[in-house]
Structure 1
Amino acid sequence: MPAISINNNVATAIALYFSTSENQAEIINILITSVEALKQQSGFISFSIHKSQDGLRVATYEQWHNQADYEAFVNSVPGKALTAKLSAFPVESHVFEIVASQSISEGHVPPKIIKGGFLTHFAEFRTTPENQPRLVELEKEYIVKAFENNTGLVSANFHRSLDGLMTINYGQWISQEAFNNILRSPGFESTGSGYWVGLAENEFHLYDVVFTEPTEENN
């Protein structure tokens, strides 16, 4: 199964498809049918599909040996065919590196992406190349604070886009109630006083993992 680690020497591609409750399943089905082609590409490591509970997103989390391998797939015949199939759906996609990661697991075992596993939180921070370095500094500080009083937080993993336009926190939670608690914690409020104010525009969605490759069975 896919593992998230700050020590992974991989390129991470995250795509956010802007869906509706009517077409969310269609996007997921198209993505699942692409997996066999993905597995044949040089440099492919993993592919995970997430379904937002509000119906407004489908998120993919891909791992490749390097950015060149990912771009080679995007520009390949199968990659262009997948892009064409999804062309009706708005998408935002970037290549990322992990800049901060923490979890409750013993022995510093990297968090795993598991179908039907933990409640997943994608926090989207849209920023600028000028503001991204400071935003990352604050995210490294607040990842420690996030674990101080939130026992339901399983892992937090901040990603920095290589183009400077975004950071994403991939978080895992035991329950909805546990996630709601952090929104009342100082520095994390969603009412305009969060640490990112003045540096980024933030929104978040909660997801369920609906597909992973490799799976737990064949990993």
Structure 2
Amino acid sequence: MNSKIVVYIGTLHAKPEFIDSLIQSFEGLKQAAGYISHECYRDLENRNKLTLVEQWENKEDHENFVNSFPTEVMEQWLGMLSQEGEDSYFEKLK
């Protein structure tokens, strides 16, 4: 069993009218299996750009959480974004 924590880092570009709703939606992470923690950062130059740093027990738990949403719910959530973001997985080292 891999005991290393997996860190997911995603950059999101919110439509201005949905910034607060998008930030609030991150609270749903806390219900997911394998979730450890998350922090949200707001860009100082572009107030609609967020970076989300999440810690998970493994990559599969994060993927299962993302894939657990019905298509219409995911489309609604994606509708709060103004453009496609970027995301990556990292292995936390000491």
TM-score interval for Structure 1 and Structure 2 normalised by the shorter chain: 0.7 to 0.9
Aligned match of 2:87: 93
TM-score of the two chains, using structure 1 as the length reference = 0.35
Structure number with the higher helix fraction is 2
Q: How many residues align?
A: 89
| Unaligned stretches of 5+ residues in structure 2 | none
Change (3 A) 1:27 1:96: farther
User: Quick check: 1:68 aligned with 2:63?
Assistant: no
If asked which structure has higher relative contact order (CA below 8 Å, sep 6+), I would say 2
Computing the radius of gyration from Cα coordinates, the structure with the larger value is 1
Aligned match of 1:46: 37
Q: Percent identity?
A: 26
Alignment of 1:26-45 (within 5 A): 26-35=18-27, 37-45=28-36
> Once superposed, what is the RMSD of the aligned Cα atoms?
2.8
Structure 2 SS opposite 1:38 = helix
Change (3 A) 1:10 1:75: same
Change (3 A) 1:30 1:79: farther
Note if contact 1:30-1:86 (Cα within 8 Å) is conserved in structure 2.
Answer: no
TM-score of the two chains, using structure 2 as the length reference = 0.73
Change (3 A) 1:97 1:72: same
Change (3 A) 1:9 1:94: same
